[in-house]
Amino acid sequence: MKAKLLPLILLFLFASCKNEAPPDTFEIEDKDELIKRLADMYYMESFIGRTHKSEKDSVREKLSDEFYQLYKITPKELDEYLSNLKNDKVLFGSIMDSVSNLLNQKNAKKN
């Protein structure tokens, strides 16, 4: 009986171990949209940094959910995308300068 079950079990194991394609990498074609998302992500992290220790996790979770609802990407995924973008130093520098300018404009409007 065991000899008959072994091939059947192996068949199910091999059938369940399909080669799945890796998930598509996230790409943002529009540089202005990337800048806006990054500025929002940094603004969000700044807000989280100013919250009380006991509330940080719940605030981070709530803001991350709202960020995902708005942009269909998590802050962690966007941060990973940014890390990969660092390979192109000129583009990375240009984008980060634009993010900094956008954040400064938001702060100037608040004051």
C-alpha–C-alpha distance, residues 92 and 15, integer Å? 44
Concatenated DSSP letters for 5-38?
HHHHHHHHHHHH---PPPPPPP----HHHHHHHH
The one-letter amino acid at 92: F
Mean pLDDT of 52-75: 94
What per-residue confidence (pLDDT) applies to 60? Answer: 94
The one-letter amino acid at 57: D
- Which tens digit of pLDDT belongs to each residue from 10-60? 444 444 444 443 344 456 678 899 999 999 999 899 999 999 999 999 999
Mean pLDDT of 83-111: 88
- Which tens digit of pLDDT belongs to each residue from 75-96? 999 999 889 888 889 989 999 9
- Higher pLDDT: 45 or 9? It is 45
Q: Is the pLDDT of residue 9 over 60?
A: no
Average pLDDT, the chain: 79
Q: What percent of the chain has pLDDT over 90?
A: 50
